[in-house]
């Protein structure tokens, strides 16, 4: 957001009758959230509050919010959402360290023991009163760095008000993935969760996240990868509960380190997932991918992926692979940017965003961007929107595969490139099987 | 087995008549070949018989064992025993060849009220038949037709045919894009499937394929109709003299 945009905040406030002025709207938003006071994170939180007051809440005319209405996130209170029956758990075949969060707060009794070789795990809430913490230089710092050049006010709001989250320091190669399982208890929970993950030099971990967070959720992950560190993040968000959610991943990737992130999202209500990655070291690798199934038949469906990858060093490799299957008037949004700074030579940047529209009422809005200030780079982007391939459909049906099943095959086929970004074959197969089951249960998605 | 009577077909979205009163009968156990110049409607015939969208039958009928095919969906025709080997088999990334094949086999069995094959049963049969067609286990694991050479794609079509055990097989220019060895392999695969209660309709441009797959009857098709039928010698005649004389005769 530019300074001019901030100044014109009053003018761009949604013109809903009785809507408060922008500043009042922000204060009302803040007043409705419980604010942690004191503790090791106090400075980071008060700096975030100053940042937030400076930028204000976004209005529908903000360039960065052109395709997604920010009002569901601006509203002071979350709208109640009934809690659906528990979805069957994912990644069951896998030995993992499961940490349960209920309405965004860590539930030690329901979780595995936090001890795991190669990693130190604590919680934001549990350590709140400690005088100091290793996460102190990271919590709110990566978020602050990611506020330029585009403002992300909900991420600043998150730092201000984060209730709980994990503080994970990976020092070796833990034998199993760390799995966060979100559960709901209250139908109005407005959850603000914030994880900090520090991957030390040469360390490697897999981080899984499943379940539904709350009636509304605001999540931030700050991931700091030291030299040669590797982090695999896989989130699977099921749509048993339609919901309003925004999340941000802020990552700093140092020399030779690799971040791989994959998000599976089925339906949702209004979802915006942002990834802001700063590749600061030479030979850094960053892959971000998502597979989205959106059907507006069971409630409003608007799914926004906004990605900003900055290449700031030599020979960086980045890939963005976003695939959305949309039906019954669902809307998919993709805003993806690759910024190559001066001197970031031999950058290899790739971005693809594709939508499969299963009817004529659904839409896909894509804004791919490249901004390049180095002269020896290979960067490409592509964006397509299409329907089911009739040739392929006929081929499958001519072999006796019923139409509905053939469409499931073609949807899985469409999503395959995104799933390929999940390195672990076992996890990838399980996601694929689950997708297959979801699609088969509900051929309409 | 397959009986086509006075079939008239136009494109659904255009006022263009493609088949103009085509009649043809393939009795059980026989191999019939259709030859004809480009644009005579050979591929359209194969698509209309197997139920592809986009065509409108304006007159006539096509029956398989007395039952009209035209009222059935593509998948129902397959379950009834019809199979089309494609001229250009479609690539389907992300869907394993085995998964696809097993779904196809079991969907057809289910549609016919037969018991579905278990994984183990299916695996045993598919391995056997793949071996005969020199299809490696690695090829079976790959996504459907992805990264397959022209010859591999056609062999994969024959493998599907062998697994689905159709009673009426239509082969649309299966020889196109095949080298001599691949053609021999594909032909051997087809010949192995010949039986008294299975029939073939082989669409081809070249007589060469018919040296490998010996037809009982050869039909010459032009402008949406069969203009002449005869024995295998008819194919040799075309190879030697082209279609000119036959077309003139028909006019």
Structural domain boundaries in chain A: 3-388
- The confidence score (pLDDT) of residue A315 equals 98
Q: Mind telling me how many Å the CA of A423 is from chain B's nearest CA?
A: 15
Give the whole-angstrom CA distance, residue A125 versus residue A442.
Answer: 40
CB neighbour class for B8 (10 Å; exposed up to 12, middle 13-18, buried from 19): middle
Predicted model pTM: 0.90
- Residue to test with chain B: of A392, A398, A415, most B Cβ within 10 A: A398
Q: Mind telling me how many Å the CA of A402 is from chain B's nearest CA?
A: 6
pLDDT by residue (tens digit) across B88-97? 999 999 899 9
- The confidence score (pLDDT) of residue A364 equals 97
Residue A7, pLDDT > 80, answer no
**Which position has the token pair 């006010």?**
A153
Given CB atoms, is B165 within the 8 Å cutoff of chain A? no
Element spanning A28, H or E: helix A22-31
Residue A393, pLDDT > 80, answer yes
Given CB atoms, is B46 within the 8 Å cutoff of chain A? no
pLDDT bucket at A61, cuts 50 / 70 / 90: confident
Mean pLDDT of B78-86: 96
Report helix, strand or coil for A365: strand
B164·A405 Cβ contact <8 A: no
Contacts of B54 in chain A (CB under 8 A): 390
Residue B133, pLDDT > 90, answer no
CB A410 within 8 A of CB A395: no
Contacts of A395 in chain B (CB under 8 A): 86, 89-90, 92
pLDDT bucket at A442, cuts 50 / 70 / 90: low
Q: Which residues does B182 contact at the CB level (< 8 Å), separation at least 6?
A: B150, B151, B154, B155
More confident residue, A346 or A13: A346
Give the A window 414-443 contacts with B, CB below 8 Å. Answer: 414-417, 419
Kindly report the backbone phi and psi dihedral angles of residue A230, in degrees, each rounded to the nearest multiple of 5, phi listed first. -130, 135
A401·B90 Cβ contact <8 A: no
- The confidence score (pLDDT) of residue A15 equals 42
- The confidence score (pLDDT) of residue A12 equals 40
Give the whole-angstrom CA distance, residue A364 versus residue A366.
Answer: 6
pLDDT bucket at A22, cuts 50 / 70 / 90: low
Mean pLDDT of A64-90: 85
- The confidence score (pLDDT) of residue A240 equals 53
- The confidence score (pLDDT) of residue A439 equals 83
Instruction: Tell me the CATH number of domain B2-94+168-250, given options 3.10.20.30, 2.40.110.10, 1.10.1660.10, 3.40.50.300.
Output: 3.40.50.300
pLDDT bucket at B178, cuts 50 / 70 / 90: confident
**Which position has the token pair 């018989």?**
B49
Mean pLDDT of A332-345: 97
- The confidence score (pLDDT) of residue A242 equals 58
- The confidence score (pLDDT) of residue A8 equals 38
Q: Mind telling me how many Å the CA of B245 is from chain A's nearest CA?
A: 36
- The confidence score (pLDDT) of residue A141 equals 98
**Which position has the token pair 């949004």?**
A333
pLDDT by residue (tens digit) across A137-168? 999 999 999 999 899 999 999 999 999 999 99
- The confidence score (pLDDT) of residue B114 equals 95
- The confidence score (pLDDT) of residue A6 equals 37
CB A138 within 8 A of CB A196: yes
Contacts of B51 in chain A (CB under 8 A): 394, 397-398
CB A284 within 8 A of CB A342: no
Nearest CA to A399 out of B192, B157, B22 is that of B157
Residue B81's closest chain A neighbor by CA? A400
Mean pLDDT of B149-178: 92
Q: From start to end of A21-173, where are the E strands? A: 97-102, 105-106, 119-123, 166-170
Helical packing angle, A403-419 and A390-397, nearest 10°: 120
First to last CA, chain A: 36
Given CB atoms, is A395 within the 8 Å cutoff of chain B? yes
CB A124 within 8 A of CB A41: yes
Nearest CA to B191 out of B212, B211, B177, B206 is that of B212
Q: Which of B92, B107, B164 sits opposite A413 (nearest CB)?
A: B92
A-B CB pairs within 8 A amount to: 81
A395·B89 Cβ contact <8 A: yes
Residue A420's closest chain B neighbor by CA? B94
Q: What number of residues does chain B have?
A: 251
Mean pLDDT of A66-94: 84
Q: Is A50 left (phi over 0), alpha (psi -120 to 50) or beta?
A: alpha
Q: Are strands A216-225 and A190-199 parallel, antiparallel or unpaired?
A: parallel
pLDDT bucket at A87, cuts 50 / 70 / 90: low
CB B174 within 8 A of CB B200: no
Q: Which two tokens mark B129?
A: 């038949």
pLDDT by residue (tens digit) across B188-242? 988 999 999 999 999 998 888 898 999 999 999 999 999 999 999 999 888 888 8
Give the whole-angstrom CA distance, residue B126 versus residue B162.
Answer: 9
Residue A17, pLDDT > 80, answer no
Residue B75, pLDDT > 50, answer yes
- The confidence score (pLDDT) of residue A238 equals 65
B51·A401 Cβ contact <8 A: no
Give the whole-angstrom CA distance, residue A254 versus residue A225.
Answer: 6
Q: Please work out, in degrees rounded to the nearest 5, the angle formed at the alpha carbon of residue B127 by the alpha carbons of B145 and B166.
A: 70
Mean pLDDT of B77-101: 94
Give the A window 152-181 contacts with B, CB below 8 Å. Answer: none
Give the whole-angstrom CA distance, residue A392 versus residue A397.
Answer: 9
pLDDT bucket at B63, cuts 50 / 70 / 90: very high
Contacts of B108 in chain A (CB under 8 A): 400
**Which position has the token pair 């833990």?**
A174
Element spanning B50, H or E: helix B42-50
- Round the average pLDDT of chain A to a whole number and report it: 90
Mean pLDDT of B40-58: 95
Given CB atoms, is A409 within the 8 Å cutoff of chain B? yes
Contacts of A391 in chain B (CB under 8 A): 90
pLDDT bucket at A443, cuts 50 / 70 / 90: very low
Q: Mind telling me how many Å the CA of A354 is from chain B's nearest CA?
A: 15
Give the whole-angstrom CA distance, residue A62 versus residue A66.
Answer: 6
Q: Mind telling me how many Å the CA of A322 is from chain B's nearest CA?
A: 15
Give the A window 305-364 contacts with B, CB below 8 Å. Answer: none
Nearest CA to A199 out of A232, A166, A167, A229 is that of A229
pLDDT bucket at A379, cuts 50 / 70 / 90: very high
pLDDT by residue (tens digit) across A213-258? 888 999 999 999 999 999 999 998 765 555 789 999 999 999 999 9
């Amino acid at each position: 957001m530019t300074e001019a945009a901030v100044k014109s905040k009053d003018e761009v406030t949604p013109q809903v009758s009785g809507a408060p002025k922008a500043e009042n709207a922000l204060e009302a938003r803040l007043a409705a959230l419980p604010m942690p006071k004191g503790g090791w994170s106090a400075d980071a939180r008060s700096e975030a509050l100053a940042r937030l007051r400076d930028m204000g809440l976004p209005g529908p005319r903000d360039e960065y919010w052109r395709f997604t209405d920010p009002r569901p996130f601006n509203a002071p209170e979350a709208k109640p959402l009934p809690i659906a029956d528990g979805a069957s758990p994912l990644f069951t075949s896998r030995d993992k360290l499961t940490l349960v969060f209920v309405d965004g707060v860590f539930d030690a009794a329901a979780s595995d023991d936090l001890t795991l070789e190669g990693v130190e795990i604590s919680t934001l809430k549990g350590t709140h009163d400690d005088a100091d913490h290793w996460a102190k230089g990271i919590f709110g710092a990566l978020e602050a760095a990611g506020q330029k050049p585009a403002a992300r006010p909900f991420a600043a709001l998150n730092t201000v008000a984060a209730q709980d989250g994990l503080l994970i320091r990976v020092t070796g190669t833990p034998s199993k993935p760390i799995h966060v399982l979100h559960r709901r208890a209250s139908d109005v929970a407005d959850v603000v969760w914030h994880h900090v993950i520090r991957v030390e030099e040469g360390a490697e971990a897999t981080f899984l996240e499943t379940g539904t967070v709350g009636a509304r959720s605001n999540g931030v992950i700050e991931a700091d990868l030291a030299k040669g560190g590797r982090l695999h993040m896989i989130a699977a968000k099921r749509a048993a509960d339609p919901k309003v959610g925004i999340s941000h991943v802020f990552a700093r990737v140092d020399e030779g380190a690799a971040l791989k992130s994959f998000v599976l999202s089925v339906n949702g209500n209004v979802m915006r997932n942002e990834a802001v990655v700063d590749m600061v070291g030479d030979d850094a690798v960053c892959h971000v991918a998502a597979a989205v199934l959106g059907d507006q038949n069971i409630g409003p469906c608007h799914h926004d992926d906004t990605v900003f990858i900055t290449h700031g060093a030599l020979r960086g490799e980045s890939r963005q692979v976003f695939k959305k299957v949309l039906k019954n008037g669902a809307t998919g949004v993709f805003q993806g940017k690759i910024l190559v700074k001066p001197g970031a030579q031999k950058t290899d940047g790739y971005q693809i965003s594709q939508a499969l529209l299963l009817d004529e009422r659904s839409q896909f809005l894509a804004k791919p961007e490249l901004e390049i200030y180095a002269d020896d780079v290979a960067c490409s982007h592509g964006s397509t929107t299409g329907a089911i391939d009739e040739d392929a459909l006929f081929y499958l049906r001519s072999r006796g595969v019923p139409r509905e099943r053939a469409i499931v095959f073609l949807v899985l086929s469409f999503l395959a490139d995104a799933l390929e970004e999940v390195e672990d074959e076992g996890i990838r197969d399980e996601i694929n099987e689950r997708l297959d089951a979801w699609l088969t249960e509900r051929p309409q998605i | 087995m397959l009986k086509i009577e006075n079939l008239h077909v136009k494109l659904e979205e255009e006022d263009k008549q493609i088949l103009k009163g085509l009649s043809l009968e393939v009795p059980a156990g026989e191999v019939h070949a259709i030859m004809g110049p480009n644009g005579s409607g050979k591929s359209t015939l194969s698509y209309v018989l197997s139920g592809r969208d986009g065509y409108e039958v304006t007159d006539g009928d096509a029956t398989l064992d007395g039952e009209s095919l035209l009222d059935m969906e593509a998948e129902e025709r397959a379950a009834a025993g019809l199979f089309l080997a494609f001229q250009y088999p479609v690539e389907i990334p992300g869907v394993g060849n085995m998964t696809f094949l097993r779904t196809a086999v079991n969907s057809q069995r289910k549609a016919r009220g037969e018991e579905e094959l278990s994984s183990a049963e299916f695996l045993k049969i598919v391995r056997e038949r793949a071996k005969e067609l020199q299809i490696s286990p690695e090829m079976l694991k790959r996504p459907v037709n992805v990264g397959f050479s022209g010859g591999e794609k056609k062999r994969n079509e024959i493998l599907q045919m062998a697994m689905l055990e159709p009673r009426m097989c239509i082969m649309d220019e299966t020889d196109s894009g095949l080298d001599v060895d691949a053609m021999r392999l594909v032909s051997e695969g087809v010949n192995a499937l010949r039986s008294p209660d299975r029939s073939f309709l082989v669409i081809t441009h070249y007589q060469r394929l018919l040296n490998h797959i010996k037809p009982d009857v050869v039909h010459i098709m032009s402008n949406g109709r069969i203009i002449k039928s005869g024995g295998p010698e008819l194919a040799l005649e075309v190879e030697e003299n082209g279609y000119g004389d036959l077309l003139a005769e028909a006019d």
